[in-house]
A and B are shown apart, each in its own frame.
Chain A
Amino acid sequence: MNRMQINFTLNGKDIHLEIEPGETLLEIIRKRLGEIGTKKGCGVGECGACTVLVEGRPVDSCIYLGIWVNGNDVRTVEGLAAKDGNLSEMQEAYIEDGAVQCGFCTPGFLMSATAMKENGRKYTREEVKRALSGNFCRCTGYKKIIEATEKGLKS
């Protein structure tokens, strides 16, 4: 194996690692760095459970090679709360609106929704649905997730 060096920041923390070229970002986050908030669902880019933000943009970390984040800023659900433990407005909205049932999809939805909030655009209901269309939920039927996202965008 040809091991490779990468440097990136994960939730603001400098990370330096030696990885194998075939390692995914998801594996690096969960296995190497022990941050298990990010989930593995389908493993093939369909469900969005593994969504993280790379340079502020959502990507499916299960089909994103670790080597690609060299030099980048990566954020996961662990990085959403403030340092003092206060949850983000989006996280609060998901809890208040009952957008979480089993919770497996939630970290992925929160990352997509956080990217929406941070780009500062206004979203119609249809646009909210579209921006969340890469995330699947088996439990909630989406209604509450969509409402919570809209609330989080407003607050």
Chain B
Amino acid sequence: MFDVKKYYDVDNLGVALSLLSKEPHLIVIAGGTDVLIKMQHGWNQEETELLGINRIAELKGIRMLDNGDIEIGALCNFNQIEEDATLQENIIPLVEAAASIGGPQIRNVATIGGNICNGVTSADSASTLFAYDAKLKLSTERSERIVPISEFYMGPGKVALESGELLTHIIIPKESYEGYQGRYIKFARRKAMDIATLGVSVNYRIDEASGCFEDLRIGLGVAGPTPLRCIEAEEYARGTKVSEEGIAGIAGKAVLSSHARTSWRASKEYREHLIEELVAEALLSITDGVRGEEDE
């Protein structure tokens, strides 16, 4: 039995937002796979009052907007994301990240919105959303704002949600995914039901004429207190030849952006080694047909 004093079971976004503005102390619960575990561990007060949002239908869809942007409702669970045709066609790394989460029972319940709002660096969907410059739509009863995901993560477990605010949608702009190939690799000690030791999400676009990377983006999870982008490596990559050597150079630079630290899962040195290895592995795995030899 969880210590819940009151539960609001809401199926309408407007009602949820107005409740949250009147009673900002309410704790939002979607799939509860983070909230309930924290309560289990004695986090928080007695007398928790929950705002249950998982019946709000308008936050459950995945669709392509008229302008080509892809909009993902905050309440989409990871099974839904793994099986979604639009995402399978356009944003493979997000499908791979979803597939890497928990086991089937968790994926049936855990939402992408909860994954992001929980604010941890190991959230499997986060590094990919960083790597695609995802935007978050945040609403209160009176207003709506769009925040880039890189500005949403403030620190471990801390996100830029203001009082009375809900995450409603995640938007992946068309220019972020069109023409890009990508891959997500989760490194964990076990194949399933494990938190990432490191998460690596890469994507790139090639300039056909020169055989060089035109654009390349790398998002990392568990390489610092929040998910992050490898800016140095990304700058270095632009104009770098798509070759084994070029990729090795990019992977070497990826370590520069990390703030890896030692935890019981892995030491700082081991994590840095993993960053280099996995960035290279991810890029090699999706450039097979397009890699040229270094012509000397």
Contact = CB atoms under 8 A, between A and B. Distances in A.
Interface size class of B (residues with CB under 8 A): 20 to 34
Contacts of A115: 104
B5 A2 contact: yes
Given A4-B7, A21-B50, A63-B36, A27 B1 contact: yes
Interface string B182-204: 00000000011100000000000
A63 B37 contact: yes
A133 B193 CA distance: 7
A42 B165 CA distance: 33
A2 to B, nearest CB: 5
B225 to A, nearest CB: 24
Given A4-B7, A44-B37, A68-B54, A59 B105 contact: yes
Nearest to B103: A134
B105 A48 contact: yes
B4 A22 contact: yes
- Best-surrounded residue of A63, A65, A112 (most CB of chain B within 10 A): A63
A134 B33 contact: no
A4 B5 CA distance: 11
Nearest to A131: B104
B76 to A, nearest CB: 14
B6 interface: yes
B109 A64 contact: yes
Contacts of A1: 5
9 contacts: A20-B4, A51-B105, A58-B104, A59-B105, A63-B32, A63-B36, A68-B52, A131-B104, A134-B106
